[in-house]
Amino acid sequence: MREIKNPVYKIDLGLLIALILLMSIGILTVYSATFNDAVDTSYWGAKYGKQTLWLLASLFIGFFVLLFDAEYFRGYSAYFYFFTLFLLVLVLFMPPVNGARAWLGFAGLGIQPAEFAKISTALFLAKWVEQQNIKLQEIRGVFQFMGIIMVPSFLIFLQPDAGTLIVFSSFFFVLYREGVSFDPLIIPLIRRFIKTPLKSTWLGEHFIPFFFFITLLGFLTLYLSSSSFVVVGIPLSGYGLLYVVISLLFMLISGGIWLFGYRRTRVKSFTILISSTLFCFFFIGFITLFFEKVAAPHQKKRIELLLGLDEDPNGSDYNRNRAMTAVGSGGGFGKGLFEASISGTRTNHVPESETDFIFCSFAEEWGFAGSLVFIVLNTFIILKTFQIAERQRSVFSRVYANCVGFIFFYHFSINLGMNIGLAPVIGIPLPLMSYGGSSLLSFSLMFFILLNLDSHRKDVLR
């Protein structure tokens, strides 16, 4: 039998079917959440009609993307990246919408450049890592990789869009997977003051406990943000208290190393201790700046509500409380399609139930059983994406696939956390589910590019 060489026939059907199934669930949920027979006069004029048009356009463009040669994405990644940077600059001159300059509107349509910046950054980062593969441990290479991520992040910071800014941090996990160490940024500074033979990538070797530590430190910084203390007669803010505690711990541990540590390991131990302390100071300052300057007032309010620093069940915390109520009211098997009494547009107990809180609409209608199936489907897509990443022969395809996996994971986990009260409401849509053309089209493009690259994986020589 003659072998079919057209790569379109080599796409991963499992992932494709899962994506189309998730899109179908999304359009059905948007239809159910926004349908109002007392107001809607035409299908295409309502929100669910507009979302249907975006879905059809996304599928058409997505299947068209499958016909491209894989080299197209590598060759034009830089142009796509700088074009989206141009759009991110242009959007800063647009009128604000809901307190953020994040939308470009024309011909009655609005697009959010930050959504497409995720794709362009993933493609350009993949190309750069492939080209600079032998320089992953050099300080110049680390600065270049960080620059690719930080430039669009800074422009998104100016909008401001805290949700998308957080998603951009997912790219650092991809760099870690590729062996990039951030020690070159720390060790040369330490060597300037301390003579040390330290050469090991300590951060890479201890990444997992380090990640959990900075997560805990971040939550603690936010938790103490609105507190004040008096220590030996000196008034201190919550941040100031953290600096004092870390400084005391530094002195205590330094004394322990000097008195009880092995002489041959003292230099290395002091080096690690100093770098860790400096990082803690920097990280606390960064979280403070983010909370005070980047986060919008309503986002700061939501974070305070999540951490229990404030209570406002009928005000700023209304959406989250009603969303949790809707999820819980679904029971074991839900109320059925079009039967949502809390999250539907007809009652409007959950504002924006078709966007950030689309999951609560789905959970109310399909209950715990349906929610479990939904979580399994999304988990399958995440794991399948990482499996595809690990079977790539091309560094470019592997890096891009890992970027897609982490972006999807960030959106899915944070949005679910928003709906069940485990994460602050920061405006992150549920992938391929939430109402919104920019989000739907960008995620569709993201995954269809991945399917295209994967279909060409055997064309790359090992």
Say what the pLDDT of residue 324 is. Answer: 76
Whether residue 177 is found in the same domain as residue 211: no
Whether residue 76 is found in the same domain as residue 150: yes
- Report which of 455, 438, 458 is spatially closest to residue 73, judged by C-alpha positions: 455
User: pLDDT category, 2, cuts 50, 70, 90?
Assistant: very low
Say what the pLDDT of residue 338 is. Answer: 73
221 part of a folded domain? yes
- Report which of 460, 386, 19 is spatially closest to residue 173, judged by C-alpha positions: 386
Q: Is it the case that residue 4 has pLDDT exceeding 50? A: no
User: pLDDT category, 121, cuts 50, 70, 90?
Assistant: very high
User: pLDDT category, 8, cuts 50, 70, 90?
Assistant: low
Specify whether the CB–CB gap between 30 and 365 falls below 8 A: no
Whether residue 69 is found in the same domain as residue 168: yes
Question: Which one has a higher pLDDT value, 183 or 149?
Answer: 149
Q: Is it the case that residue 118 has pLDDT exceeding 70? A: yes
167 part of a folded domain? yes
Whether residue 56 is found in the same domain as residue 149: yes
> Taking residues 174-179, what's their average pLDDT?
77
Q: Is it the case that residue 1 has pLDDT exceeding 50? A: no
User: pLDDT category, 120, cuts 50, 70, 90?
Assistant: very high
26 part of a folded domain? no
User: pLDDT category, 182, cuts 50, 70, 90?
Assistant: low
- Report which of 349, 370, 348 is spatially closest to residue 359, judged by C-alpha positions: 370
> Taking residues 39-63, what's their average pLDDT?
80
Say what the pLDDT of residue 404 is. Answer: 93
For the chain, what is the domain count? 2
Whether residue 262 is found in the same domain as residue 176: no
288 part of a folded domain? yes
User: pLDDT category, 310, cuts 50, 70, 90?
Assistant: low
Whether residue 13 is found in the same domain as residue 152: yes
Question: Which one has a higher pLDDT value, 274 or 445?
Answer: 445
30 part of a folded domain? no
Whether residue 16 is found in the same domain as residue 141: yes
Domain boundary among 278, 294, 310: 294
Domain boundary among 272, 294, 316: 294
Whether residue 150 is found in the same domain as residue 246: no
Domain boundary among 258, 274, 294: 294
Tell me the average pLDDT of the chain.
Answer: 76
> Taking residues 40-69, what's their average pLDDT?
82
> Taking residues 98-103, what's their average pLDDT?
72
Model pLDDT for residues 125-153, shown as the tens digit of each residue = 999 888 876 555 566 767 778 888 889 98
Whether the predicted model's global pTM rises above the 0.85 cut: no
Whether residue 140 is found in the same domain as residue 272: no
43 part of a folded domain? no
Say what the pLDDT of residue 47 is. Answer: 77
Model pLDDT for residues 405-456, shown as the tens digit of each residue = 999 998 998 888 888 777 777 778 889 888 888 888 999 999 999 999 988 8
Query: Cβ–Cβ contacts within 10 Å for residue 374, how many?
Result: 20
Whether residue 159 is found in the same domain as residue 248: no
Specify whether the CB–CB gap between 181 and 158 falls below 8 A: no
> Taking residues 291-315, what's their average pLDDT?
62
Whether residue 159 is found in the same domain as residue 12: yes
Q: Is it the case that residue 108 has pLDDT exceeding 70? A: no
Whether residue 139 is found in the same domain as residue 53: yes
Range of the domain at 290: 206-294
Say what the pLDDT of residue 122 is. Answer: 92
Say what the pLDDT of residue 198 is. Answer: 46
Q: Is it the case that residue 3 has pLDDT exceeding 50? A: no
> Taking residues 36-49, what's their average pLDDT?
67
Question: What is the distance, to the nearest Å, from the Cα of residue 291 to the centroid of all Cα atoms in its chain?
Answer: 17
Model pLDDT for residues 335-356, shown as the tens digit of each residue = 877 776 776 666 666 666 677 7
Say what the pLDDT of residue 29 is. Answer: 87
Q: Is it the case that residue 184 has pLDDT exceeding 70? A: no
Model pLDDT for residues 185-223, shown as the tens digit of each residue = 555 555 555 454 444 444 545 555 566 666 777 777 776
Model pLDDT for residues 355-401, shown as the tens digit of each residue = 778 888 888 888 888 888 998 999 999 989 998 988 888 888 899 99
314 part of a folded domain? no
Question: Which one has a higher pLDDT value, 76 or 159?
Answer: 76
